[in-house]
Amino acid sequence: MTVEDEKLIHKLWRENERLCKENRDLKQENEDLREENGELKQAVQELEEAKKELEDELAEEKKPDYVQPNRKKENPEPSGRKANHKGVSREKPSHVDTVKSLNPLKTCPDCGEKVSKPQEWRERYREEIILPRYHVTKFRLPRSYCSRCDKLVEPEAGGILPQRQLGNKLRSYVVYLREELRLPVNMVRKHLLAYSTQTVELCTELAWLQKKLI
């Protein structure tokens, strides 16, 4: 094997190492994007539910102050299903996020008499929509020196644009409030500040984002 052959083999080996690393990075980026896509779909669903709730509240506020009371019938029919018909209740949720077991009673809430140990456990569900919450993620980015580029390099933080502090979910939420719900700028600002104590930083970047939407 000649010297030229050895150089060529070494060059091909280095190129193969570089391509393998790029392939690993692309796979990791693809997984991150899939995860972020799922989170965004979940956020959109929650926003749609919040939108419906807001629309119901607005419709309720638009009702006139005086509403003619319903006249009572002389012989009203009893509410509910007719006799011998099986009752129907709301279906149980398909999933449970949190399970809370209540502490057993020591005395009867009606008469105050001491009660026995639990004879059985009854289950009931509470369904709610969690409103937006101000959440801060601090990224610790390991910086490494690249001799070829002669500079420090670092991995990219997911879910946020370069040189910006608002996450992609929050930015998407602002676009949703402005474009879908048609809220004015001052209402968007007031709404977001209700969830954050970092008012100065949030307002500064929000102003930049609003200019992009105009």
pTM of the model: 0.40
Average pLDDT over the chain, rounded to an integer: 76
Higher pLDDT, residue 34 or 72? 34
What pLDDT was estimated at residue 204? 53
- Dist. CA 169–CA 40, nearest whole Å: 7
Computed on alpha carbons and rounded to an integer, the radius of gyration of the chain in Å comes to 30
Domain residue ranges in the chain:
1-61, 158-214
pLDDT 10s digits, 77-88: 666 666 666 666
Instruction: Dump the DSSP string for the chain.
Output: --HHHHHHHHHHHHHHHHHHHHHHHHHHHHHHHHHHHHHHHHHHHHHHHHHHHHHHHHHHHTS-S--PPPPPPSSPPPSSPPTTPPP--PPPPS--S---PPPPPSB-TTT--B--S-S----------PPP-----------EEETTTTEEE-PPPTTB-TT--SBHHHHHHHHIIIIIS---HHHHHHHHHTT-S-HHHHHHHHHHHHHHH-
200 pLDDT above the threshold of 50: no
- Dist. CA 139–CA 157, nearest whole Å: 7
What pLDDT was estimated at residue 127? 77
pLDDT 10s digits, 121-147: 888 777 776 666 777 788 888 888 888
